[in-house]
Amino acid sequence: MLRYAVNLGAPSALTTAPAFRQAIWRKSEPGWHVCGIPDAFHVDHGSDFTSAHLEQVMADLRIRAYFSLHGQPRGRGEVERIFSTSNRMCLPTLPGHAPRGTHDRAGQARLSLAELDSAINAFIREIYNVTPHSETGTPPQQRWEDGEFIPRMPDSLDQLDLLLLTVAKPRKIHPDGIHFQTLRYLDPVPAAYVGEDVVIRYDPRDMAEIRVFHHDRFLCRAICPEPANRTISLKDITAARNARRRELQAQIRQRASVVDRLIEVHRPPHPDLPPPAKSTRGEPARGGRRACAGSRRAPAPPRPRRMTSSAIWSSALGPERACSEEMDSMIL
């Protein structure tokens, strides 16, 4: 077994990358000699394995990814086998183990996350790697050493960290530094590149420093003065930002409720309005159709009468003169 990782966070490329790093690099534990860059990577369709970050890492390290079929665990038997072995041989021996179906499983916990990590580490080194495999008949560690295999290793640990533990983001250099995640990063070197686009790489676990690249060439390491003396992770920044957003939303809702109450108090009373008249929508019978019984159309208002010349003169000259004018016209 190359390596493992224990965490309580949601699966993501940032939680998978540290396990990938520990699997590739040389182990600090004596007797655990398995290391190297794999040629193939058998994974499922989890969001941590299909992320753009891990895809770029595998392309840079020349690793071919093999994705299993959806809903078919037999396509990744190598992965499911170690899970089954751990559930049968490791977890039942730990204090606080609560199998499925146990009432209040969370209340049975007795180990911290660090203690669980240490117990799994000891199980892999002292039991799993030295127990003969049921298929080969040889312990995994002995099989690795007998093969005289020379692993493919990265040039340095810094290069591996740069690929796995950092995330690349495009940014622009401003006169006052590089802005990222509401922080400002400074260094004398970027002063000569103001206005130009660069690519920064950062470690989400420590936001005090970023690495700046210009046209794929390393430029400098920029430092943020605020968290330089302490470690601030991207998770801490996101949590603080979400807490502030919830606080502002609560204030907005509280003020909106106060405004609604004030409007209700100062709103003038509504005058008593007469009840609305019943609307009649009955249509008269047309083309052999009969209108609905009891429904009549409201009488149409009288159409305005067309005014003749005599009527116009009547309104303008008075009734007497209008009559004389009309009589003269009749005589003619």
- The per-residue pLDDT for 171 is 92
- pLDDT > 70: percent of the chain: 75
- The per-residue pLDDT for 67 is 85
Report residue 154 as tokens.
Answer: 């990265």
H or E element at residue 42: strand 40-43
Within its chain, how far is the Cα of 3 from the centroid? 29
pTM above 0.85, yes or no: no
- 39-94 pLDDT, tens digit each: 888 888 887 788 877 888 888 888 888 888 877 767 777 777 888 888 888 888 88
Do the beta carbons of residue 207 and residue 232 sit within 8 Å?
A: yes
Helices 157-164 + 52-60 axis angle, to 10: 150
- 184-206 pLDDT, tens digit each: 898 888 888 889 999 888 877 67
pLDDT exceeds cutoff 80 at 318: no
Residue from 38, 39, 40, 44 nearest 75 by CA: 44
pLDDT exceeds cutoff 80 at 304: no
pLDDT confidence band for 317 (50 / 70 / 90): very low
